[in-house]
A and B are shown apart, each in its own frame.
Chain A
Amino acid sequence: MRLPFTQTRLPLAAFIGLSLTGIFLFCAVFAQWIAPYPIDMAVGGVWESPSAKYWLGTDTIGRDILSRLIYGGQITIFVALASSALAFSLGAFFGFFAAVNGGWIDQTLSRIVDLMMAIPSLIVALVMLSVLPLNLTVLILVIGVLDSTRVFRLSRAVAVDIAVMDYVEAAKLRGEGGAWVIFREILPNALSPLVAEFGLRFIFAVLFISTLSFLGLGIQPPLADWGGMVKENKDGLVYGKSAALVPAFAIAALAISVNLVADWVLTRTSSLKGGRGG
Chain B
Amino acid sequence: MADDTLLDIKGLVIEATSYPPGEPPKEVTLVHGVDLKLRRGKVLGLIGESGAGKSTIGLSAMAYGRGGVRLTQGTITLNGRDIRQASARDLRTLRGKEVTYVAQSAAAAFNPAKRLMEQVIETSLAHGIMTKPEAEARAVMLFRKLGLPNPEAFGNRYPHQVSGGQLQRAMTAMALCPKPDLVIFDEPTTALDVTTQIDVLAAIKEAIRDTHVAALYITHDLAVVAQVADEIMVLRHGRLVEHGDTAQVIHAPRQDYTRALVSVRSLEHEEKPPAPPILRVEGVTARYRGTNFDVLKNITVDLAPGQTLAVVGESGSGKSTLARAITGLLPPTQGRIGFAGRQLSRELKGRTKDDLREIQMIYQMADTAMNPRQTVGTIIGRPLEFYFGLRGAARDKRVQDLLDQIEMGKGFADRYPAELSGGQKQRVCIARALAANPKLIICDEVTSALDPLVADGILKLLMALQSEAQVAYLFITHDLATVRAIADKIAVMYKGAVVRYGQKSDVLAPPFDDYTDLLLSSVPEMEIGWLEKTIAHRRMESAGN
Contacts and interface: CB of A to CB of B under 8 A. Distances in A.
Interface of A: 1-6, 8, 165-167, 169-170, 172-176, 184-185, 188-189, 271-272, 274-276, 278
Contacts of A272: 21
B22 A2 contact: yes
Contact of A4 (B19, B368, B432): B19
B238 to A, nearest CB: 21
Q: What size tier do the contact residues of chain B reach?
A: 35 or more
A189 B382 contact: no
Interface string B126-155: 000000000000000000000000000000
A3 B24 CA distance: 11
Q: Is the interface of B mostly helix, strand, loop or mixed?
A: loop
A173 B363 contact: no
Nearest to A175: B356
Given A166-B368, A173-B329, A4 B22 contact: yes
A192 to B, nearest CB: 10
B365 to A, nearest CB: 7
B356 A174 contact: yes
Given A4-B19, A6-B19, A275 B373 contact: yes
A8 to B, nearest CB: 6
B180 interface: no
Contact of A166 (B25, B363, B373, B383): B363
7 contacts: A1-B373, A2-B22, A173-B327, A173-B356, A174-B383, A189-B373, A275-B373
A161 to B, nearest CB: 11
A99 to B, nearest CB: 16
Contacts of A185: 371
Contacts of A167: 368-371
A174 B386 contact: yes
Contact of A276 (B24, B327, B372): B372
Interface of B: 19-25, 327-329, 348, 351, 353, 356-357, 360-361, 363, 365, 367-374, 382-383, 386, 416-418, 432, 436
Contacts of B360: 173
B363 A276 contact: no
Contacts of B371: 167, 184-185, 188-189
Contact of B372 (A3, A173, A271, A274): A274
Contacts of B418: 275-276
A170 B428 CA distance: 13
A170 B361 CA distance: 8
B19 A278 contact: yes
Contacts of A169: 329
A175 B348 CA distance: 8
A273 B13 CA distance: 32
Nearest to B429: A170
Given A4-B21, A166-B365, A166-B368, 18 more contacts: A4-B19, A4-B20, A4-B23, A165-B368, A167-B370, A170-B369, A172-B348, A173-B328, A173-B360, A174-B383, A174-B386, A175-B356, A189-B372, A271-B19, A272-B21, A274-B372, A275-B373, A275-B418
B211 to A, nearest CB: 38
A4 B22 CA distance: 4
A278 B24 CA distance: 12
Residue among A8, A170, A274 facing the most chain B CB atoms (10 A cut-off): A170
A166 B416 contact: no
Contacts of B24: 5, 8
Contacts of B23: 4
Contact of B386 (A6, A176, A276, A278): A176
Given A166-B363, A174-B383, A275 B416 contact: yes
Contacts of B386: 174-176
A51 to B, nearest CB: 52
Contacts of A170: 361, 363, 369, 432
A35 to B, nearest CB: 43
Contacts of B383: 174
Nearest to B362: A170
A2 B328 CA distance: 36
A275 B369 contact: no
Contact of B353 (A3, A5, A175): A175
Contacts of B356: 173-175
B398 to A, nearest CB: 16
Nearest to A271: B19
A205 to B, nearest CB: 28
A38 B24 CA distance: 50
B292 to A, nearest CB: 19
B58 to A, nearest CB: 23
Contacts of A174: 356, 382-383, 386, 436
Contacts of A165: 368
Given A173-B329, A174-B386, A176-B386, A276 B367 contact: yes
Contact of B369 (A2, A3, A5, A166): A166
Contacts of B368: 165-167
Contacts of A176: 386
A126 to B, nearest CB: 42
A189 B371 CA distance: 8
A173 B417 contact: no
B68 to A, nearest CB: 11
The 10 closest A-B pairs by CB, nearest first: A275-B372, A188-B373, A166-B369, A175-B356, A167-B371, A2-B22, A166-B363, A166-B368, A4-B21, A165-B368
B270 to A, nearest CB: 32
A275 B351 CA distance: 32
A114 to B, nearest CB: 22
A173 B373 CA distance: 19
Contacts of B367: 276
B199 to A, nearest CB: 32
Contacts of A275: 21, 372-373, 416-418
Contacts of B329: 169, 172-173
Contacts of B361: 170, 173
Contacts of A4: 19-23
Contacts of B436: 174
Residue among A4, A6, A185 facing the most chain B CB atoms (10 A cut-off): A4
A30 B348 CA distance: 55
Contacts of A3: 22
Nearest to A187: B373
A170 B441 CA distance: 13
